[in-house]
Structures are given as structure tokens and as C-alpha cells.
Amino acid sequence: MKNKEIRVFEAFAGFGGASFGLRKAGLKHRVVMYSEWDKWAQELFEANHDYPVPLFADIETNEFQTKGDMTKGDFSSIPEFDLFTGGFPCQPFSSAGLGKGELDPRGTLFYSIIQVLKSFKTKVKPKYVLLENVKGMTHKKHLPTFNKIKEMLKEEGYLIDHKVLNSKDFGVPQNRERLWIFAERSDLFQKRLLRNGDKSFFDVISEKYSVDPSKRKPFHDYLDPQNGRKVHEQHFLKDYQVEKLIEKHNMPLDEFLMSGHQRSLCLDIYNKKLKKEEISITLTEPHHNSLRVVEHLGQNPDHIISPGEKSRGYTVRKLTVEEHFRLMGFIDGKIELNQNDLSYQQLCKRAGNGWDINVASKIFQEIFEN
């Protein structure tokens, strides 16, 4: 399908991670339908598609959050497509959430994916399914759910491979472990097995696309000052906030100057560590965010240096919106962030809940290699 337009159903779309992954891979495609219940994510998704994409369950009712809800639409209305993608809600399986799994209503949304596949009763089923979730789904507590997911995909005629991949291994300096599940219609998967021999689909990806850590760009290079952008004052922590981090929470900020690093580093507040290996911790929603940027004075020439910063010799700040998206695999100018309509919180939430489009692009390259 390398030269043929790929028809995509993008479920739980967020900002459109699958769309951007396909674009980054240089693959011709068209999203024939998408689902997303968050109105701010819908707005961002639609701002980044230059053609109208029908929203699944595009209905208005008196119920809370029905528009775009995967559990509320008419499955018979779904057009034919080749590729189903879905980052179905990960909070039920996440260590940052409560880890309720299927006890959380969001954890049952996988059944909607099966309903989509079942809607092709009289037609040939879609060729490919690519799903993404947190590593926590593979933990012992959630294994019954994970095994059920694999079993149900097999019942629909798919063969499956899965693996936890880390963004830092593919060139982006973020420690982001995500479970990827690739399901391919059994008639096609058998051909892939013949091509790959005894190597699994994801083993081939790791072999072909992983990047040597010594060749990976450091966290510092993904920050605004190194990309010609000014960091606004509201992102910098006040002196009293930094003092609180040092005195009350025992943050190892003094190690920044002692370490001899000339480049900016990521501070992991949750684990009280400076990431001297020059990577970022996992980006999350803002209310879970424990990431701060520590920089030498002068890194942000427009910043007004406070007395405390002058005394300490460094600044501490939050990531900007643009930095969030760079650490999710984006190049500046490749996404319309719609910052006039969407707030810092809303946009950072989109990034934290989204796909690393760099990893996604490698997976898509391999899926459509032949």
C-alpha cells in the first residue's frame, strides 16, 4: 500500500497522533472518520486537517459528553477503511492514575474498538489495527484485561504482536514507555511472518529504527532558546518557589552547578532527581506534571534575572507549550497549536495524553514497508 492512499479511522484521537505519525512517515493517507469526546482536542484535531473529517457520534443530547463518545455512535455509519488507530484511555492502567483497570468506565472503551471491527460483517475487515497504552497494562494486576484484548482481536481474525517501546530509544530525549499493540488481518500477517523470518514485528522495528544514545540529541536542544524562541516570564519560578523546592522538598538543585553540565537539565520533582543523562521524564497532564527545566543564567537573554537567581546561578521554569510538542516528536511549524483559543493547560494536556509521533512514524513505516 506504499503508493496507495491509506484510509484511516482515528479513534480516541486527541491532537491527532496517528495523523501526524503518518505525515512524519511520508505516507499518503486520509482520515475517513475520527472519535474524540474532549471538545478542546476536537478543536485542535480539526485545526490540523485541511479537509473535513466526520466525527463519530456527532450528535447532541442532554447527556453529559455524548458528542464524539465512542460508546454512543451508530457503528453502521462507519465508512470502509484500511487502518484503525487508537490510543484508548490509559488512565485506568496508569501508575499516575488510580489503576482501576476495567473497574474504571474508561477501561471498557476497548469494547467499542471491537464493535467497530464487528461492524464489517458483510465486508472485508480493515487490514491493520494499531493501539497504544501505558506500560501498566502489562503489569500483573491488569494482565487479565490485556489477555482479553488480545483474545478478542484474534476472534475478529487478527494476529498480534506487542511491545513496550521507549521514546528515548528512537531519538527523542523523553523517557516515555508505552505499550504498542499491532494487529494485522491473519492473511496479511502470515505473509509478514514469511518476510521477517523468526523476528517479530516489533523486534524488526527496534533493530531498524532505534538510535544509539550517543547520537541522540540532548534535552537541552529541544528547549525554546536553542530553537530561536523566547520563553515568557510566566514560565519562570519565583525565588520563593525555588527556595521551597530546595528547603522543604530537598530538591538537589545545587547539583546542577556542581555537575559541571553546560547544558540545561530536566528536574524530576517526584523522584527528586536531576536527569544528568540529559533526557526528560515522561510528559503527563499538567496536574500530574513534576517536570521543571533548570538552566544556566544567560540561556534566556530576555529573562529579567531575579536576586535569587543571580545568587544561585541558575533559573528554574516550566516547559513551554512548544517544548512539550517537540518532546512528542514534532518539528516547529508542523502543528497548528491554536494558542489564541486553547490555554497552556489545555495544550499541555493534549501533549501529555498524546502519541509520540516519532515512534508512531517508525511503526507506520514498517507496517507499510511492502
pLDDT (tens place) for every residue of the chain, 370 residues total: 567 999 999 999 999 999 999 999 999 999 999 999 899 999 999 999 999 999 998 876 555 556 888 888 899 899 999 999 998 764 554 555 555 555 443 456 888 899 999 998 778 899 999 999 989 888 888 888 888 889 999 999 999 999 999 999 999 999 999 999 999 999 998 888 888 888 999 999 999 999 999 999 999 999 999 999 999 999 999 999 999 999 989 999 989 998 888 899 999 999 999 999 999 999 998 888 899 999 999 999 999 999 999 999 999 999 999 999 999 999 999 999 988 889 999 999 999 999 999 999 999 999 998 6
Tell how strand 265-268 and strand 291-296 pair up.
antiparallel
Determine the Cα–Cα distance for residues 216 and 365; give it in Å rounded to an integer.
20
All three cell numbers of 204: 524488526
Catalytic one of 90, 181, 281, 293: 90
Q: Domain 6-214+340-367: give its CATH architecture.
A: 3-Layer(aba) Sandwich (3.40)
Instruction: Choose among 211, 218, 351: nearest CA to 277.
Output: 218
Determine the Cα–Cα distance for residues 8 and 207; give it in Å rounded to an integer.
27
Instruction: Choose among 256, 285, 304: nearest CA to 91.
Output: 285
Number of H helices, E strands in the chain: 12, 10
All three cell numbers of 87: 490510543
Cα 178 to Cα 91, 96, 236: the distances in Å are 13, 14, 30
The predicted-structure confidence for 103-137, as pLDDT tens digits, reads as follows: 443 456 888 899 999 998 778 899 999 999 989 88
Contact 225, 236 (CB under 8 A): no
All three cell numbers of 18: 496517528
Query: Which letter does DSSP use for residue 323 in this model?
Result: H
Determine the Cα–Cα distance for residues 83 and 7; give it in Å rounded to an integer.
6
Determine the Cα–Cα distance for residues 154 and 160; give it in Å rounded to an integer.
8
Tell how strand 158-166 and strand 177-185 pair up.
antiparallel
The predicted-structure confidence for 252-301, as pLDDT tens digits, reads as follows: 998 999 888 889 999 999 999 999 999 999 999 888 889 999 999 999 99
Determine the Cα–Cα distance for residues 252 and 249; give it in Å rounded to an integer.
9
Residues near 370 by beta carbon (within 8 Å), at least 6 away in sequence: 2, 195
Tell how strand 29-34 and strand 83-86 pair up.
unpaired
* Residues of the chain by 3-state class (helix, strand, coil), percent to 5: 40, 15, 45
Phi, psi of 133 (to 5 degrees): -155, 180
Tell how strand 177-185 and strand 128-134 pair up.
antiparallel
Contact 46, 35 (CB under 8 A): no
Widest CA span in the chain = 72
User: Which amino acid belongs to residue 108?
Assistant: T
Q: Map out the domains of the chain as residue ranges.
A: 6-214+340-367, 230-319
Query: Which letter does DSSP use for residue 8 in this model?
Result: E
Active site residue 90: yes
Measured at the CA of 129, the angle between CA 127 and CA 131, to 5 degrees, comes to: 170
CA atoms within 13 A on the CB side of 93: 26
Determine the Cα–Cα distance for residues 258 and 347; give it in Å rounded to an integer.
35
Determine the Cα–Cα distance for residues 293 and 86; give it in Å rounded to an integer.
31
Q: Please list the residues that pair with 280 across neighbouring strands.
A: 174
